[in-house]
C-alpha cells in the first residue's frame, strides 16, 4: 500500500480504481506464494516470478481503466473478481510443478480463503471505527504514509497469523472421495465468493448495513472452507496411513509364513539333536552334555497357546529376549484369536513386544522384565503388556509422544492403535513411575466364552511381585 501510494503521488497511478486493483493483486500474490512455498518449484522459478508480477500489475491497471469506463456494471465487477481467482490458480500451475493436482487446487483454495479473511477482518475493523474502507483506508494519523504503513502492517500480521494456524503442508493422496471433496469446495468458493464479493462492491457506498453483513458472510464462508480443508487433510493422512498399513500387513503375512516354516524346521532339527545327544551322551563329558542340552533348549521351545500366529510370535520374540538377556514372561491363550486376520495378529503382537524389548534394553539388569498376557473374557480379547523403561514417556492422545530417536516406537504405537480401531477395540496406555502399561480390548466377532480368570495388577508393587514371582 505504502509503495503504491508513493507512486501515485508521483503521478504514475492517477486512477483510484487502478490503485485498488494493484493493492488487491499484491495481496493475492502474498497469500499465494506464502502458502505454496512447500510445493516443488519449477526449474526457472525466479525467472518466471518477475514476469508473473509484471503481468499482474499490467492486468490490474487494465481492470482499473475499464472499471472507470463502467463504474456501475455488476457484471464487470464479478468478472474482475473471477479473473483474480483464475490468475491465482494459473500462477500456481505456471510457477510450481506439483504432480498431485489436488494439492495445487487445495493450495489455491487456502490462499484465496486466507486473503479474503484478511480483507474482511480489516474491513470490519474499519467499519466498527466509523470508516468505510471502500471510500478510504483507516485514518489514524494525519500523515498518509503512516496510515498506509498501518494498513500494510495489519494485513501482513494477520496473514502471518493465519499462516501459522494453517501452515501444515498440503499433501493429499490419490483418492476419488478426497478429489471429489476438493473439487466441490473449489466450486463452492468460486460460486459463493464471487457472488458475495459482487454484492459487497454494490453495497459498499449505498447500504452500509448490507455491506457489513456481506463482509461478515464472506468471512464465515472462507472460514468454513478452511475448516473443510483441514478435515480433508486429516482424512487424507488417515487414508495414507491405512494404505501403508495394508502394504505392511501384506509383507508381514509373507514374513509370518516364512518365519513359521523356519520355526518348524528348527524344532525338527532340535528334536533330532536331542535324540542324537541321547545316543552319544555316554561318549561325552557331563559338562559337554549340559552345554549341548542348554543350546538345544534355547531353540526347542514347546509353545502351544491354541493359535499358530501367537505361537510363532512368542517363539521368535523369546529368542530375541534371550539374546538381550531380557526375562520374558507370558500367560497367553489363543482362544478367540482365530476370528482375526493372521497378518493383523502377527503385526499387532510383534509390535507390542518389539516396543517392549527396545524399552527394556536401556534399563538396569534387574528390571529387564517383560510381562505379556492374553486372555478371553466376556467375549473380548484382553491383551495386557507391561515393562520397565528409562527416561520419560510423554503420553498425548493415548499415544507416546516421541523424540526423533524414538520415532520408530511412536509409529509402532500408532500402527497398533490403527489395528485396534479397525477391529472396534479400545487401547489404554499409561505409565506409573518407570513402568509402562498397555491394555487392549478387542471384541470377538462371534460369541466366545472363557473360564480364564487372571487378576490384573493394580499397583506398582503388586505388578513387580507378579513379574518377579512368574520367573
Task: Annotate 110-125 with DSSP letters as a single string.
Answer: HHHHHHHHHHHHHHHH
Query: Please, are residues 439 and 371 in contact by the beta-carbon 8 Å criterion?
Result: no
Closest CA to 348 of 432, 402, 425: 425
- Span 43-59, pLDDT tens digits: 888 899 899 889 988 89
Summary mean pLDDT of the chain: 76
* Per-residue pLDDT at 170: 84
Name the least confident of 173-182, 233-242, 259-268, 441-450: 259-268
CA quadruple 393, 399, 405, 409: dihedral, nearest 10:
110
User: In the numeric block, which cell numbers belong to residue 335?
Assistant: 482362544
pLDDT of 382 > 90? The answer is yes
Distance (Å, rounded) from C-alpha 225 to C-alpha 114?
A: 10
Q: Cα(197)–Cα(358) distance, rounded to whole angstroms? A: 58
In this structure, what is the dihedral angle of CA atoms 142, 143, 148, 151, given to the nearest 10 degrees? -40
**Please, which residues bridge with residue 435 across strands?**
388, 432
Instruction: Classify 438 as helix, strand or coil.
Output: strand
Instruction: Taking the CA atoms of 289, 291, 292 and 294 in sequence, report the sign of the dihedral they define.
Output: positive
Average pLDDT over residues 367-373: 92
Conformation bin of residue 391: beta by default, left when phi > 0, alpha when psi is -120 to 50: left
**CB neighbours of 378 closer than 8 A, spacing ≥ 6?**
none
Give tens-digit pLDDT for 184-201. Answer: 888 887 887 778 877 776
Most confident of 202-216, 230-244, 331-345: 331-345
Residue 449: pLDDT over 60: no
Categorize the per-residue pLDDT at 145 as very low, low, confident or very high, splitting at 50, 70 and 90. low
Percent above pLDDT 90 for the chain: 8
Chain segment 404-432, per-residue pLDDT in tens: 444 444 456 777 888 888 889 999 988 88
Give the number of other Cβ atoms within 10 Å of residue 61's Cβ.
19
Least confident of 6-15, 258-267, 278-287, 447-456: 447-456
Q: pTM, whole model, 2 decimals?
A: 0.62
What secondary structure letter does DSSP report for 88?
Answer: H
Classify 137 as helix, strand or coil: coil
Half-sphere exposure of 269 (CA within 13 A, CB side): 10
Measured over all CA atoms, what is the biggest interatomic distance in the chain, rounded to whole angstroms? 114
**20 φ/ψ sector (left φ>0, alpha ψ -120 to 50, else beta):** alpha
DSSP character at residue 459:
S
DSSP element (H, E) containing 395: strand 394-396
Q: To 10 degrees, what angle do helices 208-280 and 176-203 make? A: 160
Burial of 27 (0-12, 13-18, 19+ CB in 10 A): buried
- The answer to whether 24 touches 60, Cβ cutoff 8 Å, is yes
Q: Helix, strand, or coil here: 439? A: strand
> Residue 77 pLDDT more than 70?
yes
Identify the pLDDT of residue 351.
Answer: 87
Helix, strand, or coil (residue 135): coil
Binning pLDDT at 50, 70 and 90, where does residue 452 land? Answer: very low
What gap in Å lies between CA 105 and CA 93, rounded to an integer?
Answer: 10
Amino acid at each position: 500500500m505504502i509503495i503504491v501510494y508513493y507512486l501515485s503521488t508521483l503521478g504514475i497511478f492517477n486512477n483510484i480504481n487502478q490503485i485498488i486493483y494493484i493493492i488487491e493483486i499484491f495481496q493475492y500474490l502474498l497469500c499465494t506464494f506464502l502458502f505454496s512455498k512447500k510445493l516443488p518449484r519449477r526449474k526457472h522459478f525466479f525467472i518466471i516470478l518477475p514476469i508473473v508480477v509484471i503481468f499482474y500489475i499490467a492486468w490490474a491497471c487494465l481492470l482499473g481503466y475499464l472499471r472507470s469506463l463502467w463504474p456501475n456494471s455488476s457484471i464487470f465487477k464479478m468478472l474482475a473478481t473471477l479473473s483474480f481467482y483464475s490468475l491465482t490458480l494459473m500462477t500456481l500451475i505456471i510457477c510450481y510443478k506439483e504432480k498431485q493436482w489436488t494439492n495445487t487446487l487445495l493450495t489455491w483454495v487456502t490462499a484465496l480463503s486466507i486473503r479474503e479473511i484478511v480483507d474482511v477482518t480489516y474491513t470490519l475493523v474499519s467499519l466498527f471505527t466509523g470508516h468505510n474502507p471502500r471510500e478510504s483506508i483507516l485514518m489514524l494519523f494525519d500523515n498518509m504514509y503512516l496510515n498506509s504503513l498501518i494498513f500494510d502492517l495489519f494485513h501482513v500480521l494477520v496473514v502471518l497469523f493465519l499462516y501459522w494456524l494453517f501452515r501444515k503442508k498440503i499433501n493429499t493422496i490419490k483418492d476419488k472421495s478426497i478429489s471429489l471433496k476438493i473439487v466441490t469446495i473449489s466450486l463452492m468458493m468460486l460460486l459463493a465468493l464471487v457472488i458475495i464479493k459482487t454484492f459487497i462492491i454494490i453495497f459498499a457506498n449505498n447500504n452500509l448495513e448490507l455491506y457489513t453483513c456481506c463482509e461478515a458472510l464472506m468471512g464465515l464462508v472462507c472460514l468454513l472452507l478452511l475448516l473443510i480443508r483441514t478435515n480433508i487433510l486429516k482424512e487424507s493422512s488417515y487414508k495414507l496411513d491405512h494404505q501403508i498399513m495394508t502394504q505392511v500387513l501384506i509383507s508381514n503375512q509373507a514374513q509370518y509364513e516364512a518365519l513359521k516354516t523356519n520355526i518348524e524346521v528348527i524344532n525338527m532339527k532340535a528334536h533330532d539333536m536331542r535324540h542324537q545327544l541321547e545316543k552319544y551322551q555316554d561318549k561325552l563329558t557331563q559338562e559337554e552334555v549340559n552345554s549341548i542340552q542348554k543350546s538345544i533348549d534355547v531353540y526347542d521351545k514347546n509353545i502351544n497357546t491354541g493359535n499358530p500366529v501367537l505361537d510363532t510370535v512368542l517363539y521368535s520374540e523369546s529368542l530375541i529376549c534371550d539374546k538381550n538377556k531380557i526375562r520374558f514372561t507370558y500367560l497367553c491363550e489363543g482362544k478367540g484369536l482365530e476370528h482375526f486376520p493372521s497378518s493383523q495378529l502377527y503385526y499387532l503382537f510383534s509390535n507390542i513386544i518389539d516396543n517392549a524389548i527396545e524399552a527394556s534394553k536401556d534399563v538396569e539388569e534387574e528390571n529387564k522384565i517383560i510381562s505379556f498376557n492374553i486372555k478371553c473374557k466376556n467375549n473380548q480379547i484382553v491383551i495386557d503388556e507391561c515393562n520397565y523403561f528409562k527416561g520419560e514417556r510423554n503420553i498425548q492422545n493415548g499415544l507416546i509422544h516421541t523424540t526423533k530417536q524414538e520415532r520408530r516406537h511412536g509409529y509402532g504405537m500408532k500402527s497398533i492403535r490403527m489395528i485396534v480401531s479397525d477391529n472396534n477395540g479400545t487401547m489404554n496406555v499409561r505409565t506409573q513411575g518407570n513402568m509402562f502399561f498397555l491394555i487392549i480390548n478387542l471384541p470377538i466377532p462371534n460369541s466366545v466364552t472363557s473360564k480364564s480368570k487372571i487378576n490384573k495388577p493394580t499397583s506398582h508393587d503388586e505388578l513387580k511381585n507378579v513379574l518377579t514371582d512368574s520367573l
